[in-house]
């Protein structure tokens, strides 16, 4: 039994979304490591005092992790058909 073109493209899209999610989570882990090294260098937690604000790596870690998880959520959702266009 052959797959229809829609099933093949849907499978490909979901695989690409999962790969993008994995890549984003790896990037989040690397950014987290850089944030940790930055905190060790400062000998203080970023954002822990009025003198030391959050570094770019802290924000990048959160953004990349959220994007990666969102990509997995989108890949796991069933595909919905588009609503028909009503002509008035």
Q: What is the pLDDT of residues 20-29, one digit of tens each?
A: 999 999 999 9
Please, which pLDDT band fits residue 41 given cuts at 50, 70 and 90?
A: confident
Q: State both tokens at 52.
A: 């030391």
Number of domains in the chain: 1
84 belongs to a structural domain: no
Is residue 32 domain-resident? yes
CB under 8 Å to 16, separation ≥6 — which residues?
none
Cα(14)–Cα(56) distance, integer angstroms: 31
Give the whole-angstrom CA distance, residue 29 versus residue 74: 21
Domain that holds residue 54: 16-74
* 41 is a domain residue: yes
Residue 83 lies in a domain: no
Assigned domain for 69 exists = yes
In a domain? residue 4: no
**Does residue 87 lie within any of the structural domains?**
no
pTM of the model: 0.75
Residues 45/39, Cβ–Cβ less than 8 Å: yes
In a domain, 3, yes or no: no
């Amino acid at each position: 039994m052959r797959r229809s073109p829609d099933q093949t493209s849907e499978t490909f899209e979901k695989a690409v979304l999962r790969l993008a999610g994995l890549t984003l989570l790896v990037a989040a882990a690397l950014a987290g490591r850089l944030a940790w090294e930055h905190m060790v260098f400062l000998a203080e937690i970023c954002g822990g005092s009025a003198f030391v604000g959050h570094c770019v790596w802290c924000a990048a870690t959160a953004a990349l992790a959220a994007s990666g998880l969102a990509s997995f959520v989108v890949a796991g959702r069933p595909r919905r058909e588009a609503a028909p266009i009503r002509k008035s």
